[in-house]
Amino acid sequence: MIHLESVTVRTAPQDGATYPFTVPAVRELRELQFTSPVTFFVGENGSGKSTLLEGIAAATHLPTVGARHIDHDHTLSAARVLGATFRLRWTKRAHLGFFLRAEDFFGFTKALTKQRAEFEDDLARIDREYVDRSAQAKALARMPAAGSLADMTKRYGVDLDANSHGQSFLKLFQSRLVPNGLFLLDEPEAPLSPQSVLGLMAMMGESIAQGGQFIIATHSPILLAYPGATIISFDEGAIRPVPFAELDHVNITRDFLNDPSRYLRHLFTPAHAEPTS
């Protein structure tokens, strides 16, 4: 399902505007339409793909999977400025979903670990303080912390840090997927192996079957191959749709894997140009 139909810029940037309006692709944006349940933003670093995604996240006010909500994260102040210039058109306003930057994932797991420790400390304190009280009084006192701890365990498991980064990321991602949600993801492939990227794609497929919509900034040729996805390129200072087969990310990766030495001999001395077996 397509929840978010388009993003329109209400006022064009003025001469002398500061970042993020100095990014060529962002500066030239007037309207961007979403025509499929999966839209990818692709381009080189600095092209504006993540900047635009962050601006959309600020405009939608979706929950942030990170250490801070987007409204209070100082690293997203420019995104809030950009998002304030957007007019969003919806088929049905999505109140469910989330915004996730791969770089924030580790901060989120640390926040979960800290929160779990606080709940466990609360329970230990209650056990000490209520040693002479009735079982009913003790149970009532334990209820808020115990309930929150149980809910956290049900959603995320006992300890996300006990898994590899990729496993933890997929577990967190799956736990936050809800029907009819809008999901904004910035480079979700960062902590994932190629096999785990395929697992992420499978989860996306299940979510889309339940009414989900995804807008994703990515460098991953594997992820970009998602069937039926719209791919928007931010390279060359313009925002334009590009077929999968014409993407530099795809063609460079394919050519490199077919003949690594063709690239490596331009980077290293002859003694180091051949890859080891």
pLDDT interval class at 106 (50, 70, 90)? low
State residue 270's pLDDT score: 62
pLDDT interval class at 94 (50, 70, 90)? confident
Query: What would the DSSP string read from start to end of 109-120?
Result: HHHHHHHHHHHH
* Amino acid at site 164: S
Compute the C-alpha angle 151/153/157, nearest 5°. Answer: 145
State residue 35's pLDDT score: 95
- What lies within 8 Å, CB to CB, of 241 at 6+ separation is 230, 231, 232, 233
State residue 4's pLDDT score: 96
Each residue of 135-186: pLDDT tens digit?
888 888 888 888 877 776 666 555 555 445 567 788 878 888 899 999 999 9
Interatomic CA distance for residues 31 and 109, integer angstroms = 36
Q: Biggest alpha carbon distance in the chain?
A: 79
Count CB neighbours of 241 within 10 A.
Answer: 11
Q: Is the pTM of this model over 0.75?
A: yes
* 148 CB-side CA count, 13 A: 14
Specify the higher pLDDT residue, 25 or 268: 25
Mean pLDDT confidence for 222-248: 92
Tell me: pLDDT of 121 over 90: no
Each residue of 46-92: pLDDT tens digit?
899 999 999 999 999 988 876 567 777 888 888 999 999 999 999 98
Tell me: pLDDT of 210 over 80: yes
Per-residue b or e along 210-237, where b marks 16 or more CB atoms closer than 10 Å to that residue's CB: ebbbbbbbbbbbbbbbbeebbbbbbbee
State residue 223's pLDDT score: 96
State residue 159's pLDDT score: 56
Specify the higher pLDDT residue, 144 or 272: 144
Interatomic CA distance for residues 276 and 191, integer angstroms = 25
Mean pLDDT confidence for 36-54: 94
Least confident of 21-25, 65-69, 184-188, 256-260: 65-69
Please tell me whether the peptide bond between 270 and the residue prior to it is cis, using omega within 30 degrees of 0: no
Q: What is the mean pLDDT of the chain?
A: 85
State residue 18's pLDDT score: 87
